[in-house]
């Protein structure tokens, strides 16, 4: 029912835009964080567009990391000329430097060490440090206290976070046909496993669900209504209820630790997909099947040559739904997969997060974006077929 007045349409559009923004916001935050340097991920207020700072350090202009908060009090930058840390720069307060000596705490004791004053820093100046690349991460970084006018910023997207995230997930030795043993990022192994699970699951569930739905919709046989009700009832049983017995069954079959438990059960048909295809098959006129029978077509020929070509939108919806489910499934791989080389992307991403010890937001969000990207691309190219399949799926009983 459409709103009749301009005010009603305006209100509907506002609500739709607000709802869309609520759903898009997490993805935009993830994408923005994946393109930031690590020091800009938790700033307040949040900074959506990353910036790179440049300043003159060590006699040359170079990218630097700038502290978010400026100095609140005057400070001095000195170079120690004695002690174990001679030759290093330090920041001291104005009262901690007198007569060419700086007050330092060494081994719990306060000592006055010979030091050379480099320059004074005023309130409002910033602490900046040389930005190191991934190959120089263990090298000592130059730093200084500089006034704001000596620091300039440029908008830059840190695309290097993506290959860095892939490298940080680790490497693995695999055998590649025609190339032999190779050492590749483990991310691509997770990607291969996810594509295997999704591809075989989609192929199997489309075929088996279509066959079951055709028999329930087009072939009259005794008890099909009861069986259809039982099929619908399986949708009400959550996976945790079946987890223990199915795990015991797959362990007895020797499937635990392999990808088989993730794609074989869906390939035997699922209640929702059977229901969806049955409802669509009921909207296809029975006269088409009867005309084909008169022409001598078998039941399978009718299904293959008439019903399936007319059901492409519904089949696409079933394939897309299962692909999305299998791609995002985390509990199934967590229960059945025991070896790293069999992990899917969802489980591999969680393993990467836990192995880091702390949350490296830039790498984690870059890896998460790579995991979400295939789904976004897939829906972008299939949205017309997806919407058409949903819109034309009937509710005929």
pLDDT tens-digit series, residues 259-318: 999 999 999 988 999 999 998 898 888 888 888 888 888 888 999 998 998 888 889 889
Q: Three-state SS across the chain?
A: CCCCCHHHHHHHHHHHHHHHHHHHHHHHHHHHHHCCCHHHCCCCCCCCCCEEEEEEECCEEEEEEECCCCCCCCEEEEEECCCCCCCCEEEECHHHEECCEEEEEECCEEEEEEEEEEEEECCCCEEEEECCCHHHCCCCCCEEEECHHHCEEEECCCCCHHHHHHHHCCEEEEEECCCEEEEEEHHHHHHHHHHHHHHHHHHHHHHHHHHHHHHHHHCCCCCHHHHHHHHHHHHHCCHHHHHHHHHHHHHHHCCCCCCHHHHHHHHCCCHHHHHHHHHHHHCCCHHHHHHHHHCCCCHHHHHHHHHHHHCHHHHHHHHHHHHHHHHHCCHHHHHHCCCHHHCCHHHHHHHHHHHCCCCCHHHHHHHHHHHHHHHHHHHHHHHHHHHHHHHHCCCCC
Cβ atoms of 333 and 346 closer than 8 Å: yes
Q: What is the pLDDT of residue 396?
A: 44
* CA–CA distance, 112 with 68 (Å, rounded to integer): 31
- What pLDDT score was predicted for residue 394? 46
Q: How many H-runs (helices) and E-runs (strands) does the chain carry?
A: 14, 12
Q: Give the phi and the psi of residue 20 in degrees, each rounded to 5.
A: -65, -40
Q: How confident is the model at residue 174, as a pLDDT? A: 79
Instruction: Spell out the SS3 assignment of 117-153.
Output: EEEEECCCCEEEEECCCHHHCCCCCCEEEECHHHCEE
**In the prediction, which pLDDT does 75 show?**
92
Q: Residue 45: what pLDDT?
A: 79
The confidence score (pLDDT) of residue 3 equals 63
| Under-70 pLDDT residues of the chain | 1-4, 134-139, 355-359, 386-397
Phi and psi of 346, rounded to 5°? -65, -45
């Amino acid at each position: 029912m459409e709103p009749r007045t301009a005010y009603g349409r305006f209100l509907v559009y506002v609500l739709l835009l607000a709802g869309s923004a609520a759903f898009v916001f997490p993805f935009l935050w993830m994408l923005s964080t994946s393109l930031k340097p690590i020091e800009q991920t938790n700033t307040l207020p949040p900074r959506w567009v990353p910036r790179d700072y440049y300043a003159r350090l060590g006699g040359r202009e170079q990218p630097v990391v700038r502290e978010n908060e400026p100095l609140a009090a005057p400070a001095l930058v000195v170079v120690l000329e004695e002690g174990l840390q001679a030759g290093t720069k330090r920041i001291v307060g104005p009262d901690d430097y007198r007569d060419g000596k700086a007050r330092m705490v060494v081994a719990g004791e306060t000592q006055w060490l010979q030091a050379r004053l480099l320059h004074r820093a005023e309130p409002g100046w910033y602490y900046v440090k040389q930005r190191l690349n991934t190959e120089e991460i263990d090298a000592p970084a130059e730093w200084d206290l500089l006034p704001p006018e000596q620091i300039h910023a440029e908008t830059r997207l840190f695309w290097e976070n993506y290959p860095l995230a892939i490298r940080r997930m680790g490497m693995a030795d695999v055998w590649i046909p025609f190339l032999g043993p190779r050492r590749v990022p483990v991310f691509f192994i997770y990607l291969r496993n996810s594509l295997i699970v999704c591809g075989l699951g989609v192929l199997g569930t489309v075929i088996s669900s279509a066959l079951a739905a055709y028999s329930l919709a087009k072939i009259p046989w005794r008890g099909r209504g009861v069986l259809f009700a039982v099929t619908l009832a399986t949708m009400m049983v959550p996976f945790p209820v079946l987890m223990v017995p199915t795990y015991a069954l797959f362990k007895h079959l020797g499937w635990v630790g392999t990808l088989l438990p993730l794609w074989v059960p869906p390939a035997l048909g699922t209640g929702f997909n059977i229901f969806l295809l049955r409802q669509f098959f009921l909207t296809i006129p029975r006269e088409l099947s009867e005309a084909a029978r008169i022409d001598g077509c078998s039941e399978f020929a009718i299904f293959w040559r008439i019903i399936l070509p007319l059901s492409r939108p519904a089949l696409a919806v079933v394939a897309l739904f299962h692909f999305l489910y299998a791609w995002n499934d985390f509990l199934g791989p967590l229960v059945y997969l025991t070896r790293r080389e069999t992990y899917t992307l969802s489980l591999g991403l969680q393993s990467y997060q836990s192995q880091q010890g702390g949350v490296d937001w830039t790498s984690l969000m870059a890896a998460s974006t790579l995991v979400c990207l295939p789904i976004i691309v897939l829906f972008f190219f299939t949205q017309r077929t997806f919407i058409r399949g949903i819109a034309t799926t009937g509710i005929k009983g």
